[in-house]
A and B are shown apart, each in its own frame.
Chain A
């Protein structure tokens, strides 16, 4: 029994699991994630391979799983039974914390009452719904397959099935969007009172249909305002911004994502999934044929294994940690690396502090409001 390995629970190291489901009904025009449409047979084959991969992972002794995230793609496209089987398999393999956060991503139009109930019974306690916009014209513009009304239906179905922790994904700075339009989406969604809202700005990625189109995108000033409005408007509804793109009711911050920014260890399972495990970063192959052919054996599908140096860990500590509005704690840095934050990054921190982009409070360094708008430029400075 692997579970006995962690006899004293408080000494266990937290671990997160990410399970990638690379299927969707139709790829959205802006999407560059590893995902695409596939038939029933291919999906079945993939789930089988995924199960084998999970079984093949060496036992994670001394670890306790604190979150699971089924991401995609559209994981809800799979049969609910398949999700249940995967989760079952994970629970058999790893020691789970009793209050583990278990999230599944879903798109409107792929959920039914039955599916949601099976999810609940399997132990899934958080749902992340991809909405993007409350405006059907914008949804069409983005190449989404659903309407706002279909989202509403899914949202209420989920509530009825007992989901009391729901995230809604939104997207701003989309083609032809105005500040008024974005405000409308924010208010419409906030009034539904989901526990969590993610608001990403549209990024045009190479190779997507969007990158070849002449898009009528909002200008920089408009985008700036939209970002400001997001925090302000959601604040009126009781959400606080806890990360660059994430807003939650108190206590409802997504633990899984927070783990990424705090450098909690995580194992990525499935096609192209990334991991941070025992100071090594690696990703699974993104080649589906290869993934299936190698029988999803962890040793054969892991790519780009890179053991992090002490300096790289420091870089990550900074550029990931500062994404959290709470910021990073100097004390934690010293605890992790045995050297003071000031000694390593004092000069940069003070440079941006004097420019009004960073501030210190109660032992934390964090972005100011003006810093968060240009965070990328500043985060790059923490690389050696």
Chain B
């Protein structure tokens, strides 16, 4: 059994590109994977076995051994945190599994929006935060300024912060010593009933679900009957262990303070929700750990197989992905334009993109994705309230009392020269100004309350382009607000294309409709007849563009008797058509269904 005083559980937090992964790599490199005692126990054999079976772990956690200057060996559990606002809840659970955090700040760029968001979240979890100034080898590095910024803005003592270069390894050892000295050792009670926090889980075809957890109290080993306190799921432990670099290393027992994994022949990650508490069913703890919530999708879109015959393949692929991703939601739906497909829910746009890419790459599916939508609350005149995830299902306006849309509190960090431009952007996106704090003379933190549907489209891109890449964004959901929303329908060749409908604020409907028509005009290739593209609210047409008819497409050359060549040319033409969806008489390219995402201003 490991002495808790020699354990340090921590994570690294940073704004994107400030060097989190580089520092993690450097730390792993500079430490060992096993204690001397474990080396003698020849656990290596086990590792080889694992390696042969090809089981690798996501890099969510790694256990390393550091021999400190005091001569003692310390076990470090480095827990990774997802770096995107879509996964804020997962971040918070990862932080809850730690006792401290290393805050990496770029010596040239200083504090950014995500830095702040992450630090505040870490402080909320009562974590001790050790600031580290990275990239001091850069010519533009200004560690003094950044240290002052950390002290002024966050209020963390930073004068003694290690000044490092994770890239070159300079002073990284100071970070390791700081971890030993400043991050508290866990203080759980190994003899109390089992109480472990799930911070991640993966599905493995051999072992079933592998539950990543931090033991707060108690102990767990093979045979322990466990129960997930929120879902109520029960199972018997098959194996426990900890995380090597890329392997699962089985061990006898996990005890209070340790970070490791449990397997129990669990079939589905839905039974092992992130944030849930694992306890001993025969000797349960009095209450679950705080902070659990069931994460719900925030963004929905339709996913359709480009080839209708692949519907079954898409269903199978989604089923498999869901094994590993409890926050992925899907249910069958039908579109007049696109046929059979699924309405899928995601934590955010990044999550959507990840799933889409995995379906295309790992499952070799060609997909048509419809424009993402947030969940609107539709209050009907009969008192019923609908959660609307597909614009097509919006009831008739006469049945609607009013609608509400989800809002977020956004914080945007920006250098002062771009404040005007960013404020304009937020204004255009219906933002409510919530104040501004100056970080220092040249930088400010803008606070806005914004509708989520204004953010999920191209807000991030617009933000970057209007600040020459300098603005950073963080946001969190803050409830629903009543709003004047309308459904914008798109008619192609006078037929409504359900998959192109979207919900928009009444004030921007005209503008969006116009841009959507323009965009579709670019996306839809000319066909044998003229194609009017119209945007409509109800029966009122608010914008129109026309795709002119193709005038000439003649293969006039004869190529002697080389019919094969002629056929190849026709085949190429036919191939192009395959990437289109037939809607009425019109062929619409697959990517046109995402047009609404690209209505950028510039």
Q: Are B567 and A319 in contact (CB under 8 A)?
A: yes
Beyond A200-B558, A266-B561, A377-B528, whether A315 also contacts B567 by CB under 8 A is yes
Does chain B have a CB within 8 A of A232? no
A203–B553 Cα distance when bound, in Å, is: 11
Contact A200/B557 with A281-B564, A380-B570 known, Cβ cut-off 8 Å:
yes
Given the known A-B contacts A281-B563, A281-B564, are A377 and B550 also in contact in the complex, defined by CB atoms under 8 Å? yes
Contact B562 A220, beta carbon cutoff 8 Å: no
Most B CB contacts (10 A, CB to CB) among A18, A281, A304 go to: A281
A228-279 interface (Cβ within 8 A of B):
244-245, 257, 260, 266, 268, 273-276
8 Å CB contact of A316 from B552, B562, B563: B563
**A379 and B552: CB pair below 8 A?**
no
Chain B: interface secondary structure? loop
Inside 8 A of A200's CB, which chain B residues have their CB?
556-558
Among listed A107-115, A292-300, A367-375, interface-contacting one:
A367-375
B residues in contact with A268, CB < 8 Å? 560-561
Residues of chain B contacted by A375 (CB below 8 angstroms): 553-555
Is A374's CB under 8 angstroms from B563's CB? no
Neighbouring B residues of A244 by C-beta, 8 Å: 554-556
A201 touches B551 (CB 8 A): no
Mark interface residues in B568-584 (1 if CB within 8 Å of A CB, else 0).
01110110010000000
Known: A319-B570, A374-B528. A18 touches B552 (CB 8 A): no
Choose among B550, B560, B564 the residue with the greatest number of A CB atoms under 10 Å from its CB: B560
Q: Does A223 reach chain B (CB closer than 8 Å)?
A: yes
Decide if A383 touches B557 in the complex (CB within 8 Å). Answer: no
Q: How far is the CB of B571 from chain A (nearest CB, A)?
A: 6
Query: What is B's interface to A at a CB cutoff of 8 Å?
Result: 527-529, 550-558, 560-564, 566-567, 569-571, 573-574, 577, 585
A320 within 8 A of B: yes
- 8 nearest A-B pairs in the assembled complex, by CB-CB distance: A380-B573, A376-B553, A201-B556, A380-B570, A274-B561, A380-B574, A374-B553, A274-B562
- Minimum C-beta distance from A241 to chain B (A): 12
Say yes or no: is A214 at the interface (Cβ < 8 Å to chain B): no
Determine if A71 is an interface residue (Cβ-Cβ < 8 Å).
Answer: yes
Most buried by B among A33, A245, A276, A374: A374
Binding site for B on A (CB under 8 A): 18, 20, 33, 71, 198, 200-201, 203, 220-221, 223-224, 227, 244-245, 257, 260, 266, 268, 273-276, 281, 283, 304, 306, 315-316, 319-320, 351, 355, 357, 372-381, 383
Taking CB atoms, residues of chain B closer than 8 Å to A378 are: 528
Partner of B562, one of A283, A315, A357: A283
Which residues of B have CB within 8 Å of A381? 574
Looking at the complex, which one of B527, B560, B570 makes contact with A376 (CB distance below 8 Å)? B570
- Give A308 Cβ to nearest chain B Cβ, in Å: 10
In the complex, what residues of B have CB within 8 A of residue A220's CB? 551-552
Residue in B527, B552, B566, B585 whose CB lies within 8 Å of A227: B552
Distance in angstroms between the alpha carbons of A257 and B551 in the assembled complex: 26
CB–CB B570/A316 < 8 A? no
Residues of A within 8 A of B554 (CB): 201, 227, 244, 372-376
What are the residues of chain B within 8 A of A376 when measuring CB–CB?
553-555, 569-570, 573
B558 touches A245 (CB 8 A): yes
Cβ of A276 and Cβ of B528 under 8 Å apart? no
Q: A200-B558, A377-B528, A383-B574 are in contact. Are A224 and B552 (CB under 8 A)?
A: yes
Known A-B contacts: A224-B552, A275-B561. Give 15 more (CB < 8 A).
A203-B557, A220-B552, A260-B561, A319-B567, A355-B528, A355-B585, A373-B553, A376-B554, A377-B553, A379-B570, A380-B571, A381-B574, A383-B567, A383-B571, A383-B574
B529 touches A18 (CB 8 A): no
For residue A309, give the distance in angstroms from its CB to the closest CB of chain B: 13
Q: Are B552 and A373 in contact (CB under 8 A)?
A: yes
Q: Which residues of B lie under 8 Å from residue A71 when comparing CB positions?
A: 560
Contact in complex: B552, A355 (CB < 8 Å): no
Which residues on the B side are within 8 Å of A372 (C-beta)? Answer: 554
CB of B564 within 8 A of CB of A221, answer: no
Q: How far is the CA of A357 from the CA of B557 in the complex (A)?
A: 21
> Which A residues lie within 8 Å of B528 (CB)?
355, 357, 374, 377-378
Q: Are A20 and B552 in contact (CB under 8 A)?
A: no
Q: In whole angstroms, what is the CA distance A377 to B525 when docked?
A: 12
Q: List 30 A-B contacts (CB under 8 A).
A: A200-B557, A200-B558, A201-B556, A220-B551, A223-B552, A244-B554, A244-B555, A245-B558, A257-B558, A268-B560, A273-B560, A273-B561, A274-B560, A274-B561, A274-B562, A274-B564, A281-B564, A283-B562, A283-B564, A355-B528, A355-B585, A373-B552, A373-B554, A374-B528, A375-B553, A376-B553, A377-B550, A380-B574, A383-B567, A383-B571
The answer to whether residues A379 and B561 also contact, given A319-B570, A374-B528 and a CB cut-off of 8 A, is no
Cα–Cα distance between A274 and B561 once the two chains are bound (Å) = 6
Q: How far is the CA of A183 from the CA of B571 in the complex (A)?
A: 34
Give complex CA distance A20, B561 in Å: 11
Q: Bound state CA distance, A260 and B560, in angstroms?
A: 9
On whether the beta carbons of A373 and B577 are closer than 8 Å, the reply is no
B525 to chain A, nearest CB (A): 10
Measured in the bound complex, the distance between the Cα atoms of B553 and A242 in whole Å is 18
Q: In the complex, how many angstroms separate the beta carbon of B553 from the nearest chain A beta carbon? A: 4
Task: Take A374-B528, A380-B577, A381-B574 as given contacts and tell me if A203 and B560 are in contact as well, using a CB distance cutoff of 8 Å.
Answer: no
Contact of A304 among B550, B556, B564, B566 (CB under 8 A): B564
